[in-house]
Amino acid sequence: MIPIGRFFAGAGLCMAVLWSGALAQDAKVSLRFSHWLPPAHQIHTDIVAWSKAVETASNDSIEIKIFPASQLGAAKDHFDMAKNGIADFAWTTAGYTPGLFPALEVADIPLLMKTSDGGSRALNEWYAKFAVKEMADVKLCMVHVGPVATFHTKKPVKRPADLAGMRVRPSNGVLAQFVADNGASAVNVSATEARQALERGIADAIAFPWGSLVLFNIDKSVSHHTDAPLFFAGAIHVMNKATYEKMSAAQKKVIDDHCNTDWAGKFMAGWANWEAEGRGKLAAMGGHTFHTLNADDMAAWKAATQPTLARWKAGMQKAGHDPEPVLKSYLDTLAKHNAAN
């Protein structure tokens, strides 16, 4: 009689060999992954790491070629690029297509979330049921949030009222409306165009994470920083549906194993740490003033988010959802992942 432990070990080895063989026999596919950030940005490094993990897990039957810096199309077009097959994978900021993903816009509302890692896991887990409708035209890999961000300005901003009369480059459509609520006007340019807008006086402020501020040389155009974790921004990682459907069962499993809540958190971690280091770089430069916020300041920012929250609820109602239980489920999921503000 074969000992049961040895039987299962042998069976596991056979299954592994069979699985490896199945992958090895798959026709090799070469896929294009497009994003709009420069290769020096941490998100490019994270995309490379994710792609390598997919390739390795597929026994190299999947090859992923990465096209950074908008080589295949503009940032705002990336969702449609994946939808229409211009790219097989695309990564972009969800706020570049305002109104297209009403549920996902909750990630862009200031001060609901406190951490990128837990927030990304919570957002990906919570959004799955809404993605069935909102992202029906693509294969959703994952959604996550960007690193914590704040306002970087040419004059001090400690409370929402300080934004009045300013021209602000927001990170998404939700934040554009938020600054408008507080007397500012939005300058809607891409991240790569933001430095020129600030240098030319077209904008007075920008909503941005710390490390990217240095990478894009925006630190030379702003000298005041609201030193508080005010907001995050939703990001999407999507795949062309037809590309996915043409893959073998084994290759599909590899993709599915790398498109989940755990990967949403891991995908975010390196970017969050890299951005956080940017604050220290700015402090070491000199010439930069960091404005810390007290409890009353934070209460003022929290109160200022109420019109934004009301707009999101109205959008959800228009999309056929009851906004109150939907919001509660989102906040509960944030709390589950220790990410509720």
pLDDT tens-digit map of 170-201: 999 999 999 999 999 999 998 889 999 999 99
Residue 139 has what pLDDT? Answer: 98
Res 96: pLDDT: 87
Tell whether the model's pLDDT for residue 248 goes beyond 80. Answer: yes
Mean of per-residue pLDDT scores for the chain? 92
The superfamily in CATH containing domain 28-145+233-274 is Bacterial extracellular solute-binding protein, family 7 (3.40.190.170)
pLDDT average, residue stretch 155-163: 98
Contacts of 294 (CB under 8 A, 6+ apart): none
What is the structure's pLDDT at 10?
Answer: 45
Mean pLDDT of 110-137: 97
**So what's the pLDDT on residue 132?**
96
Same fold for the pair 28-145+233-274 and 150-231+285-336: yes
CATH superfamily for domain 150-231+285-336: Bacterial extracellular solute-binding protein, family 7 (3.40.190.170)
* Least confident range of 3-7, 20-24, 124-128, 250-254: 3-7
The pLDDT confidence band at residue 268, using thresholds 50, 70 and 90, is: confident
Is the pLDDT score of 156 beyond 60?
yes
> What residue spans define the domains of the chain?
28-145+233-274, 150-231+285-336
Q: What is the pLDDT of residue 227?
A: 97
Is 0.85 topped by the overall pTM? yes
pLDDT of residue 13: 46
For residues 309-336, average pLDDT: 97
Which residue in this structure is represented by tokens 């240095």? 214
